[in-house]
């Protein structure tokens, strides 16, 4: 019975969502607002049980690691956001979390710049590698902002645009394909497993 | 002028209905397009098929996927299992996701229905769900001793006491590891199992991920791959034309479309079941929708250009 | 106090993190462990901001009787009930909380995803315009790839799958690489800017 | 008022619906689990019981089976569950749960009080007996510890420095009425100081179990029968394999066997020789390495056999038979073979050649928890061969195994066809193409040689080459490699390597790793010591303390005391020493009175032993005991403990698994040291290039900012999307409709979000100037207040603080699609004229832009999400691609600081282009050193 109610609710909500394809309507609005509320409501107990209890409450109050009082207080400082006078206090926890960016400096230099540079330095011994090389260099120059795209230089950078567009086209095609297979899968399940229309 | 206007102003709901029809109709009325098989899929089929009838070789299927990607991956699960049960190939199944365990159960019981002689723990063994954190110890440990690394099957039985394990020791007895997932899990198998123990690894992936495995296929780190519904459809076809007709794999024949057509004529009833054609039927729908969308793009743009020309003229 | 100290915190922690990358020693990994431990304590408090903001917006709508305020009642009710249910009966499998998740969240989210195909179809017709030569190239490449991934493409000519593969392996690779390099450099620069206090918009406000 | 009542009504309805559906007892869960059986686990150490029961039918919609255990039938505690998929149920006839090994018992985060399990109906079976998990209340868990084996895991720091010493005096009355008093000093600790306590079943005890099943509503089934079972310590299992080999010229026997499954209570392996009269002689014992894996092979010289079996004569080898027994701690033994087996006689020529250059070294650039073990010359294998239709082109996919002694820089491959083409691979990209002249009906050979960077070792032998064979299979249409293998490959494939190690506080080697014939290097992880393990503690209910033994192992002292231990308290040490001195004094007194020569010698020996114990101590212990403070002393001892427990000796055994094996000697470092200790490093040399790049970049930023501050004009080329921003805002003003600005869906730590916010501040300012409403929906609640501040600030800057509406920047939800649903609703209801999407987007991008295009809004997007860019480009009027988004924020702000960094970024890019061009030219002319400076992952 719970299950049946569940399936009916799910079906009803699915229809509400699909009704948006026809046009914006009260059913869609209802489902949309419900979705917003339920999903936020889902996060609160989830965070409480899976983050607050094991990482904050247990170590401080049960394991008696009193040093954790400090981050506990820093966490509370977030709440000053609601005071118009003291809202600057909430910058402290934000700043603490931002400390991580220090790692981003060398890490992104290493992982996304230097590693990519190495993979570009292959010997130019076949046409595809030469094309990749030209493509990458011209895209890099396309994103070089200190020189206007004019003359020969402009022509070269526009090669970059062409490469990018072909690349984007490929990922476009792939994404379209993936979305459609998702829909097909859904309809196969609906028609086959639920309604039994196809076998 | 009027035509262009009309094209531009088609109600979107009509488009939605056309799309829906383009998906539903091919699913209900089978079109039966023949698939062209490709090398990565053939390679995987050949690799698995080479273990046919051997009791000291098995394939290991890793179902590390969740229900979200089932539409694309489930037909692969079924096709490979059917291939193995039909050709008497031993199968191990494992999953490092809790949801994967349920998928294994579902796939095994669905295929087993049609193969009453296939017995659990004799012809196949389901290792079940193993926690994500044990993934590395298990992958590495199987190089030494599968029974020791995996310990128990999904029913909690000790592996070394099971009949299927009598001739199985380590990766030497694993013909190929088939990783079916919507993530880059396959690369873990390459790094930890292939590089160290030389076991062959293949992957079944969602279409979006498929493009990322080309370098691995080219370097031979993956012996084969199934990419999305298309890969599954190709595998289904190979199982139909070879395994279901009791034939050994031959690439020459697989590429001969006339021969393939002929094989379809003599298929047993079992192969006609919807569940074993799911990927091919899905691919038919996919092909239709692709063509439809291309048609939409072209038509939409014709309208756009006519419109623009008209605007230019009027200026 | 209002601005300098937070900036100092970011600078000091940031420099330590830079050092962490270059120093493999145990002290350095202990620092990371410490930071992670504290961040995990601080993290959960932030959710209150979201809840408060959501309640505030909808409460205001209801109070002001703004148009469609009735739906705000739906949102708030759903929020209160889901949260209460989670706290009263727990969040394990089989509780009303999970029941709500399975029968409300999952179908709503999944439906949203499957709507994407419909949007693509209508966008294909109405929005994907060859506005410029670049966009035309994009669309042509997309069409080739879409054909190349289904059997119809192969049936037309075996060139289509071959070209698809070439597009994926050559121009696509070059494009991804070029963009990733620039983005990576941008990320390095932004991280540096934040660390040095040049970029401070994340703090908000001027004082 | 009306609002409140409406709200209340809805709340009520919603709750009623939920409560009625969730707890309406819709699927009655009124059947108890049946057929519960508890059986002993065979071959184990007596610490395992196996439960089995019949699962309930699928219709019951069970989601989990909960297992309860106790040592009396009247109080059972929850110990674990088996989750089940409610819809699919359990396919098998029986379900199993094995209660075995160390499982969690209690720690400081366990529940506070003893609590009955929920959902037990009064009057029904099991209403009183079921409890939830063991609470952290010592009154409950303390006495329970007597009925289980207990293992306590204690963080090192707590154990070393934060314990309370306490002396216990035990009085044992003997049968003859005398009393023995023994006093023990123990270390007292609170539960919260421990990591956790683990438990395991003890031998020969009866335990009680019951099962309860929960259905989808979490309502519990009636309790099953309470079944019980007794743990028994069984004899060990039979070993599956055993091989005996006599190497005649080396005058030794070699044995190899397989490992048992249960090693927990194993004591040793015994190898027996049966002579011609079938008499059994024990010739070798191999102690276990618990809790590590022991060696599974042994070399026994003829001499040592003769020492145990006088009549041993190698000439009679053909008469002798051999067997192996596995013996557990209760001295039960099982022989592997029903019939003893004869030995295979060979000469050492048949044995494999040992690996060359076996070395163990500290792993560089780590935190000091790894050692490098490597050996041998490099190896290459073929992973795949592909060909063209005419068999004139062959693509070879290879892989290389190298080690840090021989780093392969080039691979030279030659195909043994008529052309004998030789190809050199300069960049090792695992792929090489050949033009061949191959009659593909015949097998073919490929030969590979290496060019290596060898570090301080002798170069590769000139003739060192590896040859593989391959043939074409016409039916499969593939090339098959090394099947069958040639002579050289056969010698490789048949063997594998076992790495053994021993640390400096133990007496037996333990197995570290098996390496296949392809591998040449192994990085051994030597984890840092963080915890101590102790057995069942005493406890005191009034002090709420648990008491543990106080000894810490320090070193393997002179091999006589492999585990030389020291008490952790100085006072305890002094007390001990005093007791021993008193004992010596007493013995000396006794010595004066006795006359019997034998007795004198006996007492003399005891005195010597005791004196030795006091005098003869490892240097480090002596030194530490000089210190006055307990803490200082412990610091020193603990350091020694950590060093010795993490220093290892290594050797490698090359074997075929059947007794044909050969060992390398134990590795000796150039400084003569055999115990190798992993050192921690203070700089990661692999990251030098990163450091250089970061410094270079930082310097560029510094100079460019300086230049910008001086007022130097920094040129930035026009970016199409940016120039359209003004027009777009103007359009909205003309139409009198609001502007929508979505700052992406990611968090504040995402660069794209920051760039989006920077653009927001400019857009908001313009909008404020034109007096146009701007709507900013946020998904992240940290982004939200920041966006609010930014918009507020923009209004102030534009001189229009009055028009700022706090509600125009708002939070929707965290859920991705719910957020999009919300944004779409806004577009339609508010009829926004201009939509900005600046930041990070995922799959939802098209949903928004399509709706936007349907409402006829001008749309400007900017993101660095490559997969979403195509959709933006085709559906939006203007799109900032990748870096253009970052540049736009700088371009708009015109602040010297930000412009300066953008410039620095630009010049860095130029530098990258130059470097890459240079590197490519160099590698094209086969100079790969330059590209090898850069990291490859």
- pLDDT tens digits along D169-222: 888 888 887 888 888 899 999 999 999 999 999 988 999 999 999 888 788 888
What pLDDT is attached to residue C204?
67
Q: What is the mean pLDDT of residues C41-49?
A: 87
Chain C contact partners (≥3 CB pairs within 8 A): A, B, D
Asked whether D753 and D840 are in contact (CB, 8 A), the reply is yes
Q: Which residue has the higher pLDDT, D123 or D59?
A: D59
Chain B: residue whose CA lies nearest to C150 = B287
Looking at the domain assignment, is residue C199 inside a domain? no
Asked whether B103 and B74 are in contact (CB, 8 A), the reply is yes
Looking at the domain assignment, is residue C163 inside a domain? yes
What pLDDT is attached to residue D58?
81
Which tens digits make up the pLDDT trace of D492-502? 888 999 999 99
Residue D1 confidence (pLDDT) above 50: no
Indicate the residue of D109, D881, D907 with minimum beta-carbon distance to A62.
Answer: D109
CATH number listed for the domain at residues D242-350: 2.60.40.10
In terms of Cβ atoms closer than 10 Å to its own Cβ (0-12, 13-18, 19+), residue D514 is buried
Three-state secondary-structure class, residue D99? strand
Asked whether D183 and D167 are in contact (CB, 8 A), the reply is yes
Average pLDDT for chain D: 88
In degrees, rounded to 5, the angle at the alpha carbon of residue D290 between the alpha carbons of residues D284 and D296 is 45
Question: With an 8 Å Cβ cutoff, are A117 and D916 in contact?
Answer: yes
For chain D, positions 873-932, list CB contacts with chain A under 8 A.
873-874, 881-884, 887, 902-903, 906-907, 909-910, 912-913, 915-917, 919-920, 922-924, 926, 930-931
Asked whether A28 and D804 are in contact (CB, 8 A), the reply is no
Indicate the residue of B143, B157, B219 with minimum beta-carbon distance to D96.
Answer: B157
Asked whether D606 and D600 are in contact (CB, 8 A), the reply is no
* Optimal mutation site among D10, D821, D844, interface A, most CBs of chain A within 10 A: D821
Asked whether D713 and A59 are in contact (CB, 8 A), the reply is no
Range with lowest mean pLDDT among C42-46, C77-81, D269-273: C42-46
Which tens digits make up the pLDDT trace of C70-118? 888 999 999 999 999 999 988 887 788 888 888 888 777 777 777 788 8
> What is the CB neighbour count within 10 angstroms for residue B78?
24
Distance from C-alpha of D839 to C-alpha of D759, rounded to nearest angstrom: 10
Q: How far is D495 from chain B (nearest CA, A)?
A: 13
Indicate the residue of A79, A105, A174 with minimum beta-carbon distance to C18.
Answer: A105
In degrees, rounded to 5, the angle at the alpha carbon of residue C186 between the alpha carbons of residues C185 and C190 is 120
Q: Which residue has the higher pLDDT, A12 or D268?
A: D268
Question: With an 8 Å Cβ cutoff, are B144 and D431 in contact?
Answer: no
The yes/no answer on whether domain D34-155+186-230 falls in CATH 2.60.40.10 is yes
Written as six digits, the tokens of D383 are 């992973």
Is the torsion defined by CA of A79, A82, A83, A89 positive or negative?
A: positive
State whether C137 and C71 are in the same domain: no
Chain D contact partners (≥3 CB pairs within 8 A): A, B, C
Three-state secondary-structure class, residue D372? strand
Question: With an 8 Å Cβ cutoff, are D693 and A113 in contact?
Answer: yes
Which residues of chain A lie closer than 8 angstroms to B211, CB-CB?
A: 170, 174
Distance from C-alpha of D368 to C-alpha of D642, rounded to nearest angstrom: 12
Indicate the residue of D192, D919, D924 with minimum beta-carbon distance to A63.
Answer: D192
Distance from C-alpha of B125 to C-alpha of B137, rounded to nearest angstrom: 20
Question: Residue holding tokens 């920094």?
Answer: D714
Q: Which residue has the higher pLDDT, D462 or A187?
A: D462
Q: What is the mean pLDDT of residues D31-51?
A: 88
- Going from N- to C-terminal start, the domains of chain D cover 34-155+186-230, 242-350, 359-496, 531-642, 720-902
In 3D, which of D82, D105, D96, D98 has the Cα closest to residue D44?
Answer: D98
Element at C1 (helix H, strand E): none
- Name the fold adopted by B36-256+266-271: Rossmann fold (3.40.50)
What pLDDT is attached to residue D614?
84
In 3D, which of D109, D2, D510 has the Cα closest to residue D287?
Answer: D510
Task: Find all residues with CB under 8 Å of D59, minimum gap 6, and list them.
Answer: D27
Written as six digits, the tokens of D725 are 């921003």
Distance from C-alpha of A147 to C-alpha of A164, rounded to nearest angstrom: 20
Chain A: residue whose CA lies nearest to C89 = A45
Q: Do domains D359-496 and D720-902 have the same CATH topology?
A: no
Kind of pairing, strands D878-881 and D661-663? unpaired
Element at B290 (helix H, strand E): helix B278-314
Length of chain A: 199
What pLDDT is attached to residue D24?
45
Which DSSP category does D156 fall into?
H
Asked whether D681 and D361 are in contact (CB, 8 A), the reply is no
pTM: 0.86
- 3-state SS record for D265-283: CEEEEEEEEECCCCCEEEE
Three-state secondary-structure class, residue D597? helix
Task: From first to last of the 199 residues of chain A, give the pLDDT tens digit.
Answer: 566 777 778 778 877 877 877 777 888 888 888 888 888 888 899 889 988 999 999 999 998 999 999 999 999 998 888 787 888 888 899 899 888 888 889 988 998 899 889 988 989 988 999 999 999 999 999 999 988 888 899 999 999 999 999 999 988 888 888 888 878 877 776 676 666 666 5
Q: What is the mean pLDDT of residues C17-42?
A: 92
* Residue C51 domain boundaries: 1-89
Looking at the domain assignment, is residue C136 inside a domain? yes
Residue D384: strand pairing partners: D397
Average pLDDT for chain B: 86
Which DSSP category does D741 fall into?
E
Residue D423 to residues A178, D283, D387, D852, Cα–Cα distance (Å): 42, 57, 17, 58
Q: For D449, list phi and psi in degrees, rounded to 5.
A: -125, 160
Strands (E), chain B: 58-62, 90-95, 124-129, 174-181, 201-205, 224-227
Q: What parts of chain B have a pLDDT lower than 70?
A: 1-2, 4, 156, 315
Which tens digits make up the pLDDT trace of C111-137? 777 778 888 888 888 778 787 788 889
The domain total for chain C is 3
Q: Which residue has the higher pLDDT, D109 or D179?
A: D109
> At D23, is the pLDDT very low, low, confident or very high (cuts 50, 70, 90)?
very low
Distance from C-alpha of D326 to C-alpha of D333, rounded to nearest angstrom: 5
State whether C2 and C82 are in the same domain: yes
Residue D53: strand pairing partners: D95
Distance from C-alpha of B194 to C-alpha of B200, rounded to nearest angstrom: 6
User: Distance of alpha carbon D836 from its chain centroid, rounded?
Assistant: 45
Q: Which residue has the higher pLDDT, D158 or A9?
A: D158
Asked whether A100 and D900 are in contact (CB, 8 A), the reply is no
Looking at the domain assignment, is residue C96 inside a domain? yes
Asked whether B223 and B176 are in contact (CB, 8 A), the reply is yes
- Name the fold adopted by D720-902: Rossmann fold (3.40.50)
Residue D280 to residues D255, D299, D319, Cα–Cα distance (Å): 17, 19, 13
Written as six digits, the tokens of C11 are 């600078």
Asked whether B83 and B123 are in contact (CB, 8 A), the reply is no
State whether C37 and C80 are in the same domain: yes
Question: Residue holding tokens 């519960």?
Answer: D36
Residue D870 confidence (pLDDT) above 80: yes
Distance from C-alpha of D867 to C-alpha of D880, rounded to nearest angstrom: 14
Q: Is the peptide bond before A9 cis (omega within 30 degrees of 0)?
A: no
Distance from C-alpha of A28 to C-alpha of A1, rounded to nearest angstrom: 26
Residue D124 confidence (pLDDT) above 90: no
Written as six digits, the tokens of D892 are 């708009």
Looking at the domain assignment, is residue C198 inside a domain? no
Which tens digits make up the pLDDT trace of B219-239? 778 889 998 888 999 999 999
Q: What is the ipTM of this complex?
A: 0.85
What pLDDT is attached to residue D27?
67
Range with lowest mean pLDDT among B155-159, D834-838, D909-913: B155-159
Which residues of chain B lie closer than 8 angstroms to A185, CB-CB?
A: 70-72, 282
Which residue stretches of B223-277 are H helix? 228-241, 251-254, 257-265
Chain D touched by C28 (CB under 8 Å): yes
Asked whether D211 and D36 are in contact (CB, 8 A), the reply is yes
Three-state secondary-structure class, residue D933? coil
Question: Residue holding tokens 């930041």?
Answer: D839
Architecture of domain D359-496: Sandwich (2.60)
Q: What is the full DSSP assignment across D840-892? A: ---TTHHHHHHHHHHTT-EEEEEE--TTTHHHHHHHSSEEEETHHHHHHHHHH
Residue D4 confidence (pLDDT) above 70: no
Residue D608 to residues B48, D589, D601, Cα–Cα distance (Å): 72, 15, 10
Say what percent of chain D tops pLDDT 70: 96
Written as six digits, the tokens of D453 are 């960077």
What pLDDT is attached to residue D106?
94
Length of chain C: 207
């Amino acid at each position: 019975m719970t299950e049946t109610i569940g399936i009916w609710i799910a079906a009803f909500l699915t229809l509400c969502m699909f009704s948006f394809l026809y046009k914006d309507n009260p059913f869609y609005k209802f489902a949309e607002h419900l979705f917003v509320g339920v999903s936020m409501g889902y996060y609160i107990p989830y965070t409480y049980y899976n983050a607050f209890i094991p990482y904050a409450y247990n170590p401080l109050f049960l394991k008696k690691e009193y040093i954790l009082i400090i981050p506990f207080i820093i966490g509370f400082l977030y709440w000053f956001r609601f005071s118009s006078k003291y809202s600057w206090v909430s910058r402290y926890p934000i700043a603490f979390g931002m400390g991580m960016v220090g790692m981003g400096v060398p890490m992104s230099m290493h992982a996304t710049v230097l590693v990519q540079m190495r993979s570009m330095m292959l010997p130019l011994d076949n046409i595809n590698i030469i094309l990749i090389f030209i493509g990458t260099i011209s895209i890099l120059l396309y994103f070089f902002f200190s020189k206007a795209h004019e003359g020969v230089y402009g022509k070269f950078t526009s090669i970059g645009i062409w490469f990018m567009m072909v690349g984007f086209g490929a990922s476009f095609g792939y994404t379209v394909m993936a979305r459609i297979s998702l829909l097909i899968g859904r309809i196969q399940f609906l028609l086959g497993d639920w309604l039994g229309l196809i076998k | 002028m009027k035509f262009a206007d009309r094209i531009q102003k088609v109600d979107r709901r009509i488009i939605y209905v056309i799309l829906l029809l383009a998906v539903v109709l091919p699913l209900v009325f089978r079109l039966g397009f023949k698939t062209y098989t490709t090398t990565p899929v053939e390679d995987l089929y050949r690799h698995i098929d080479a273990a046919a009838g051997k009791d000291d070789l098995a394939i290991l299927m890793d179902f590390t996927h969740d229900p979200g990607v089932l539409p694309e991956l489930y037909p692969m699960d079924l096709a490979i299992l059917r291939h193995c049960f039909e050709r008497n190939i031993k199968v191990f199944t494992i999953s490092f996701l809790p949801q994967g365990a349920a998928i294994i159960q579902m796939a095994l019981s669905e295929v087993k229905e049609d193969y009453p002689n296939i017995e659990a723990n004799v012809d196949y063994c389901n290792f079940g769900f193993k926690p994500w954190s044990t993934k590395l110890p298990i992958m590495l440990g199987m190089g030494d001793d599968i029974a020791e690394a995996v310990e128990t099957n999904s029913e909690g039985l000790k592996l070394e006491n099971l009949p299927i394990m009598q001739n199985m020791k380590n990766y030497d007895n694993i013909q190929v590891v088939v990783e079916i997932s919507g993530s880059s899990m396959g690369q873990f198998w390459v790094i930890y199992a292939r590089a160290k123990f030389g076991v062959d690894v293949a992957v079944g992936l969602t279409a979006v991920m498929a493009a990322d495995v080309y370098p691995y296929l080219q370097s031979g780190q993956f012996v084969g791959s199934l990419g999305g519904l298309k890969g599954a459809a190709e595998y289904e076809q190979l199982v139909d034309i070879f395994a279901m007709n009791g034939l050994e794999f031959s690439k020459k024949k697989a590429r001969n479309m006339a021969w393939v057509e002929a094989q379809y004529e003599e298929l047993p009833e079992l192969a006609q079941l919807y569940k074993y054609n799911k990927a091919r039927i899905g691919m038919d729908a996919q092909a239709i929708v692709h063509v439809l969308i291309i048609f939409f793009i072209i038509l939409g743009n014709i309208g756009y250009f006519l419109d623009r020309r008209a605007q230019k003229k009027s200026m | 106090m209002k601005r300098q100290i937070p900036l100092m915190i970011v600078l000091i922690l940031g420099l330590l993190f830079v050092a962490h990358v270059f120093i493999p020693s145990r002290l350095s990994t202990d620092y990371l462990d410490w930071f992670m431990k504290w961040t995990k304590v601080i993290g959960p408090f932030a959710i209150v901001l979201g809840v408060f903001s959501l309640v505030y917006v909808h409460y205001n709508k209801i109070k002001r009787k703004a148009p469609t305020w009735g739906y705000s009642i739906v949102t708030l009710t759903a929020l209160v009930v889901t949260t209460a249910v989670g706290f009263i009966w727990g969040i394990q499998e089989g509780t009303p909380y999970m029941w709500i998740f399975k029968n409300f969240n999952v179908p709503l989210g999944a439906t949203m995803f499957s709507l994407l195909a419909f949007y693509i179809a209508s966008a294909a017709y109405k929005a994907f315009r060859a506005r410029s030569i670049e966009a035309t190239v994009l669309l042509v490449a997309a069409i080739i790839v879409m054909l190349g991934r289904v059997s119809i493409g192969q049936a037309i000519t075996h060139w289509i799958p071959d070209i698809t593969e070439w597009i994926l392996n050559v121009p696509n690779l070059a494009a991804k690489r070029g963009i990733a390099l620039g983005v990576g450099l941008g990320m390095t620069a932004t991280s540096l800017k934040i660390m040095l206090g040049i970029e401070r918009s994340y703090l908000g406000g001027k004082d | 008022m009306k609002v409140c009542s409406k709200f209340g009504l809805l709340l009520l309805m919603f709750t009623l619906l939920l409560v009625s559906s969730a707890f309406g007892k819709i699927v009655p869960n009124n059947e108890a689990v049946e057929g519960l059986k508890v059986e002993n686990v065979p071959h184990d150490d007596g610490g395992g019981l196996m439960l089995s029961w019949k699962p309930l039918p699928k219709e019951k919609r069970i989601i989990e089976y909960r297992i309860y255990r106790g040592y009396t039938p009247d109080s059972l505690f929850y110990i674990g569950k088996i989750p089940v998929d409610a819809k699919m149920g359990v396919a098998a006839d029986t379900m199993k749960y094995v209660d075995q090994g160390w499982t969690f018992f209690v720690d400081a985060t366990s529940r506070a009080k003893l609590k009955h399990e929920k959902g037990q109906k009064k009057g029904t079976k099991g209403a009183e007996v079921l409890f939830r998990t063991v609470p952290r209340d010592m009154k409950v868990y303390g006495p329970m510890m007597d009925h289980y084996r207990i293992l306590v895991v204690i963080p090192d720091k707590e154990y070393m420095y934060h314990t309370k010493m306490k002396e216990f005096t035990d009085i044992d009355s003997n049968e003859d009425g005398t009393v023995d008093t023994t006093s023990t000093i123990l270390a007292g600790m609170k539960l919260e100081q421990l990591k956790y306590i683990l438990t395991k079943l003890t031998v020969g005890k009866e335990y009680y179990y019951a099962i309860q099943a929960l259905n989808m509503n979490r309502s519990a089934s009636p309790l099953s029968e309470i079944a019980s079972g007794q743990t028994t310590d069984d004899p060990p299992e039979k070993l599956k394999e055993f091989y005996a080999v006599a190497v005649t010229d080396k005058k030794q026997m070699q044995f190899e066997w397989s490992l048992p499954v249960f090693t927990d209570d194993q004591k040793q392996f015994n190898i027996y020789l049966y002579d011609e009269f079938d008499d059994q002689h024990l010739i070798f014992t191999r102690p276990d390495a618990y809790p590590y894996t022991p060696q599974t092979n042994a070399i026994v010289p003829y001499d040592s056999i003769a020492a145990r079996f006088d009549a041993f004569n190698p000439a009679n080898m053909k008469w002798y038979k051999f067997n192996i027994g596995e013996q557990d701690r209760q001295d039960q033994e099982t022989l592997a073979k029903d019939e003893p087996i004869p030995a295979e006689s060979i000469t050492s020529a048949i044995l494999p050649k040992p690996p060359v250059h076996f070395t163990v070294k500290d792993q560089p650039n780590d935190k000091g928890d790894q050692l490098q073990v490597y050996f041998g010359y490099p190896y290459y294998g073929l992973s795949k061969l592909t060909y063209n239709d005419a068999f004139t082109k062959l693509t070879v996919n290879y892989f290389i195994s190298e080690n840090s002694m021989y780093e392969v820089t080039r691979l030279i491959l030659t195909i043994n066809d008529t052309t004998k083409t030789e190809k050199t691979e300069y960049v090792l990209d695992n792929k090489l193409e050949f033009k061949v002249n191959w009659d593909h009906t015949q097998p073919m050979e490929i030969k590979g040689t290496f060019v290596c960077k060898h570090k301080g070792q002798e170069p590769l032998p000139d003739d060192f080459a590896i040859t593989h064979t391959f043939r074409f299979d016409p039916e499969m249409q593939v090339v098959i490699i090394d099947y069958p293998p040639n002579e050289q490959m056969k010698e490789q494939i048949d063997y594998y390597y076992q790495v053994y190690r021993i640390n400096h506080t133990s007496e037996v080697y333990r197995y570290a790793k098996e390496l296949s014939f392809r591998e040449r290097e192994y990085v051994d992880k030597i984890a840092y010591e963080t915890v101590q393990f102790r057995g069942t503690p005493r406890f005191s209910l009034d002090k709420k303390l648990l008491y543990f033994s106080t000894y810490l192992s320090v070193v393997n002292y002179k091999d006589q005391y492999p585990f030389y231990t020291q008490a952790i308290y100085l006072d305890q040490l002094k007390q001990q020493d005093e007791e021993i001195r008193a004992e010596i004094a007493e013995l000396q007194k006794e010595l004066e009175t006795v006359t019997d020569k034998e007795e004198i010698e006996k007492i003399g020996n005891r005195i010597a032993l005791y004196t030795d114990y006091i005098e003869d101590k490892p240097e480090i212990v002596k030194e530490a005991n000089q210190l006055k403070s307990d803490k200082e002393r412990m610091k020193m001892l603990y350091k020694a403990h950590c060093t010795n427990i993490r220093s290892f000796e290594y050797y490698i055994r090359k074997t075929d698994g059947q007794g044909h094996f050969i060992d390398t000697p134990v590795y000796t470092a150039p400084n003569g040291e055999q115990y190798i200790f992993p050192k921690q490093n203070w700089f990661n040399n692999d990251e030098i290039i990163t450091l250089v790049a970061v410094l270079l970049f930082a310097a560029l930023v510094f100079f460019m900012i300086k230049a910008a501050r001086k007022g130097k004009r920094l040129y930035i080329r026009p970016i199409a999307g940016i120039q359209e921003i003004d027009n777009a805002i103007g359009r909205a003003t003309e139409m009198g409709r609001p502007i929508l600005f979505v700052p992406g869906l990611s968090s504040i730590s995402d660069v794209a979000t920051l760039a989006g916010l920077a653009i927001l501040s400019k857009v908001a300012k313009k909008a404020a100037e034109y007096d146009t409403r701007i709507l900013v929906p946020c998904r992240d609640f940290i982004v939200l207040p920041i966006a609010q501040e930014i918009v507020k600030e923009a209004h102030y800057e534009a001189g229009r603080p009055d028009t700022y509406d706090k509600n125009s920047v708002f939070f929707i939800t965290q859920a991705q699609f719910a957020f999009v649903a919300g944004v779409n609703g806004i577009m339609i209801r508010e009829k926004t004229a201009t939509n900005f999407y600046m930041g990070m987007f995922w799959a939802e991008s098209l949903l928004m832009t399509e709706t936007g295009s349907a409402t006829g809004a001008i749309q400007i997007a900017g993101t660095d999400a490559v997969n979403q860019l195509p959709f933006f480009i085709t559906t939006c009027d203007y799109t900032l691609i990748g870096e253009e988004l970052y540049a736009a924020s700088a371009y708009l702000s015109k602040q010297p600081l930000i412009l300066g960094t953008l410039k620095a970024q630009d010049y860095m890019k130029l530098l990258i282009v130059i470097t890459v061009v240079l590197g490519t030219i160099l590698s094209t002319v086969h100079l790969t050193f330059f590209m090898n400076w850069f990291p490859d992952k």
